[in-house]
Amino acid sequence: MAVVLVVEDEDQVRVLAESYLEEQGHQVLSAGTPAGALALLQQSPAVDLLFTDLDLKGDIHAGIELAKAAIKLCPQLRVLYTTGRAITDGMKTRFVSGSATLAKPYTVDELRDSMLTNFQIDRLQRARR
């Protein structure tokens, strides 16, 4: 089990991601904005994974900037970006070190596999650091 902070501005997508993760036994926190996510991180520094959309409220760089600020608050945090858009090489250079991406739309299996493959997070244990 891991503590996962889901940041997604589309309510239906956020609720779906929350349910996927909860079904896998993870503790889930969620926010619809970068400011809401940072407030949650300040209150709950034991978050293992930030799962954020890159494009929040029409700003394609919002997820990248959120991840950078989140890492300053919680240096141990892992980051999984998601987007339905193409990811450019220029964007990749701005990603936090050790992060991964998951294309939208994704299935529960793809989300689970991405967490396991990229971060060794499965439903039975906390993230390995």
Please write the tens of the pLDDT for every residue from 21-67. 999 999 999 999 999 999 999 998 799 999 999 999 999 999 999 99
Long-range residue pairs from 101-108, CB within 8 A, at least 24 positions apart, any chain: 104/13, 104/53, 106/82, 108/20, 108/23, 108/24
Per residue in 86-100, pLDDT tens? 999 999 999 999 999
Tell me how far CA of residue 126 lies from CA of 26, 88, 94, 115, in angstroms: 9, 32, 27, 11
Residue 1 has pLDDT above 50, yes or no: yes
How many distinct structural domains can be found in the chain? 1
Is residue 1 in a domain?
A: no
Instruction: Assign residue 110 the CATH number of its domain.
Output: 3.40.50.2300
Domain housing 60:
8-119
pLDDT at 124: 52
Beta strands 27-31 and 3-7: pairing type? parallel
